[in-house]
A and B are shown apart, each in its own frame.
Chain A
Amino acid sequence: IVGGCVSNPHSWPWQISLRTSFEQHFCGGTLIAPQWVLTATHCLERSQRPSSYKVFLGLHHEAKKDPSLQIRDVEALFKEPDGADIALLKLSSPALINDYVIPACLPKAHTVVGGKIECYVTGWGETQGTGGEGKLKETGFPVIENKICNRPEFLHNKVKSTELCAGNIDGGTDSCQGDSGGPLVCPEHDKFIQHGVTSWGLGCAQPRKPGVYVRVSSYISWIERTIANN
């Protein structure tokens, strides 16, 4: 996360760290049910084998093994069949739900998050010198309507309807490399709903180059079907 701040420990308890079998963090993800994690397909390019991955839950310091930490192997990988940058991981056993590990809510199918809503992204990715390395960082910014985001001044027709843009027009804060696969959540009443999966951007935190996130509401039926069938 570029800009933003170090989060209160365990205040985003659905955030997971996706790691290699050697426990090296490389992507984020979101716990959406005790045994299921949502992440980005591009995070799974390094291997087709589930045993190549581990999931760390209940973490704040990237390198510390706090008592809250739970580690799970991955039992199966499910990539979105039409090639979208969204994938599901089935954990080898359900996570223990406690103060430190709580799933995020999913949106209703095809709901669109409003243009002025402020949402939050979290992760252990690059900070580009803005501090907080090694701790879970967070930052908030508004969702930008695709029509605006696709203007020549912004991302010039690169954003699909199954994606959403979010960021500050002036830049300065954004998700970045290593945050991929992690959650973009938006408050709704007293809950956080996961509306995005961190996917891509042109650089990080550049003016008029907001981050692009897979629009989760476009894939609800695939998520529900995959979980039900597996």
Chain B
Amino acid sequence: QGNLLDNYIKTEGAWILSHNKHIYKTNNPEECAEKCEAETKFTCRSFTFTSKDQQCTTLAENTKKALVLRRTNAVLFEKRMYLLECRRGKGEDYRGTESKTRNGVSCQKWADTEPHVPRFTPDSNPNDGLEENYCRNPDKDVYGPWCYTTDPKKRFDFCNIPECEEECMHCSGEKYQGNISRTESGLECQPWDAQKPHSHGYIPANLPDKDLKMNYCRNPDGEPRPWCFTTDPSKRWEFCNIPRCATPPPTTGQGLQCLAGNGDNYRGKIAITESGKTCQNWASQFPHKHARTPENYPCKALDENYCRNPDGESRPWCYTTSKDVRWEYCSIPSCEETKVEITAEAVDEQVPNTEDCYQGNGATYRGTTSLTVSGKRCQAWRSMSPHSHKKTPAAFPNADLRLNYCRNPDGDRAPWCYTTDPSVRWEFCHLKKCGDLQTVVQKPVQTTTESGTADCILGKGKDYRGTTAKTGSGKTCQAWSSQTPHTHDFFTPLTHPHAGLEQNYCRNPDGDINGPWCYTTDPRKAWDYCEIPKCPPPQYECGKAKRKQKMCPQR
């Protein structure tokens, strides 16, 4: 039946500012989602939840409009419905931002009375999302969302809102989000998060943008159609039969005549490979048989024998007419903007990795580390994908925001970066403070494990089981089983039986990067970190070199 949170997209470490908001105390994000659903003062489009404070903030804004900020321990949940720019069925619940009719005429605001006096207004239909001049369907018109137009001669017109791909698929089904879970031969699909009977690398957590839910057919890898691993041990995977949508696919703008990015939008007429071979016609199966046909990739403009990139390759390519060479890349002239970008990156890549640690809070760190503490790759500062942000090189000209190197432009505790994982907005980097570098170890010893009762911590102190019961600011800790002065249901001995939440000892049940913490007995301070010394460095741990790797080539 699904969870209430399935209706939301989750981003860790994110926070947004909104004028319209309501703050609650809830035990978990599910309860916060209930508050959002029940909100009456404004349309709740998202909420943030911080587990330690058990603070739930319901918000009118989402990341489409509001400024997104970083915040440790906060998790942002955005309601899918308000992020979608497609319609389901007649589109009564369409809440996207299209504001032009199918003929390109601007819509009239629903609250305005000129040039047309509307029958449907935000006051008369408060639940139909009649905001601004966005296309809506308050009267459940069979032709879908519409609006009053700003043309005095045309009272209203319909908008061209694409169908969400829930029942059917456009193109090759890359965005299909339906629930079909059987293959074309009738085999049941294996859930994506299972590794039996077939082990595989399509791990949902690693591919958050591919919607690998349950055991539904999906197309995460540029196949001609959605597919799935099957529950039959003898058949690893098979295509599914998903009906094609009757409506035209969403337009992606005009194609380019030059190479930008991976060239998937290239629509030029170059038909020769980089070694000078003539391309094979995409519709032909000679001399090479293949599945990259115009029928299988109807949205990829596989016209004639022109170089194309239908399947997420790194650049346009084609099958060749030489029977000895199945395929080759094509040389497509770069668009000017890309040339500038590549040049700048190439220069930056010459900077040597000279610093492996940071001083103070790392604001002056200028090294080339680009991995986070949990091993995620950093997003380039000038990139807005997967996370859009304001920490750009232009906004912080003195912060040296080059490539995707870890930096601290905003005076945080340590260098950090936005991550390339869409579900984790940012993380601190895999860097040590200069004074903390491990000393040379000479003696052979046994592997040390992160456990024990010593009053010192290893790593983040997740396994700390010592008896320190005061915070770094000298406040006494509240017992984990107590509800005074701070009520808290999220971290208790019952909810986290293996986290060692005994008495009022400092613990780290949520793997906080700053180490063990506790609720305090000070009614004004809900929780604070404890100051526990680090254990002497283990003399060796497997997989941990004393010298830093170059990790080349850095991209």
Contact = CB atoms under 8 A, between A and B. Distances in A.
Interface in A166-188: 169-170, 173, 185, 187-188
B198 to A, nearest CB: 8
Interface stretch (A37-45, A79-87, A143-151): A143-151
A105 B545 contact: no
Nearest to B327: A153
A179 to B, nearest CB: 16
Contact of A191 (B237, B445, B543): B543
A94 B444 contact: yes
Contacts of A14: 543
Contacts of A13: 545-547
Interface stretch (B202-210, B277-285, B469-477, B499-507): B202-210
A96 to B, nearest CB: 5
Interface string B333-344: 000000000000
Contacts of B443: 98
Contact of B441 (A98, A105, A113): A98
Interface string B531-549: 0000000011111111111
Interface string A191-230: 1111000000000000110000000000000000000000
Interface in B517-555: 539-553
Contacts, number: 135
A193 B543 contact: yes
A52 interface: no
Interface in A112-138: 112-118, 120, 138
Which of B200, B441, B550 has its CB near the most chain A CB atoms (within 10 A)? B550
Contacts of B329: 170, 207
B540 to A, nearest CB: 5
Given A138-B552, A190-B544, A191-B542, 11 more contacts: A8-B547, A11-B547, A32-B542, A98-B442, A103-B540, A104-B542, A117-B206, A147-B236, A153-B326, A190-B373, A193-B543
16 contacts: A4-B553, A5-B550, A7-B549, A13-B547, A14-B543, A112-B201, A114-B205, A115-B203, A145-B202, A152-B290, A153-B326, A170-B314, A185-B543, A191-B543, A193-B543, A194-B543
Contact of B553 (A5, A106, A189): A5
Contacts of B236: 147
Nearest to A3: B553
Interface bracket on A: 35 or more
Interface of B: 195, 198-203, 205-207, 221, 236-237, 290, 313-314, 326-327, 329, 371, 373-375, 377, 430, 440-445, 459, 539-553
A138 B237 contact: no
A139 interface: yes
Contacts of B200: 112, 145-147
Given A112-B195, A146-B201, A190-B430, A98 B444 contact: yes
B195 A110 contact: yes
Nearest to B290: A152
A11 B442 CA distance: 16
A144 B33 CA distance: 38
A50 interface: no
Nearest to A194: B543
A161 interface: yes
Contact of B540 (A102, A120, A169): A102
Nearest to A153: B327
A223 to B, nearest CB: 13
Nearest to B292: A153
Contact of A105 (B327, B539, B543): B543
Which of B201, B221, B236, B329 has its CB near the most chain A CB atoms (within 10 A)? B201
A41 B447 CA distance: 28
A39 B546 CA distance: 23
B371 A187 contact: yes
B441 A99 contact: yes
Interface of A: 3-5, 7-14, 32, 34, 94, 96-99, 102-106, 110, 112-118, 120, 138-140, 143, 145-148, 152-153, 161, 169-170, 173, 185, 187-194, 207-208
In the complex, the 9 A-B pairs of residues with the closest C-beta atoms, listed nearest first: A191-B543, A105-B543, A115-B201, A114-B206, A5-B552, A105-B542, A145-B201, A11-B547, A192-B543
B549 A9 contact: no
Q: Main secondary structure on chain A at its contact with chain B? A: loop
Contacts of B195: 110, 112
A34 B444 contact: yes
Nearest to A173: B553
Contacts of A146: 200-201
Contacts of B377: 118
B442 A116 contact: no
Contacts of A118: 377
A226 B441 CA distance: 30
Contacts of A113: 201
Given A110-B199, A153-B326, A170-B314, A8 B548 contact: yes
Contacts of B205: 114
B546 A10 contact: yes
A178 to B, nearest CB: 19
A140 B327 CA distance: 25
Contacts of B430: 190
A161 B542 contact: no
A76 to B, nearest CB: 21
Given A98-B444, A115-B206, A190-B544, A11 B314 contact: no
Contacts of B373: 189-190
Contacts of B541: 191
Given A114-B206, A145-B201, A103 B542 contact: yes
A114 B201 contact: yes
A139 B552 contact: yes
Nearest to B377: A118
A12 B444 contact: no
Contacts of B551: 120, 138, 140
A99 B546 contact: yes
Contacts of A112: 195, 199-201, 203
A13 B543 CA distance: 9
A8 B549 contact: yes
A132 B384 CA distance: 36
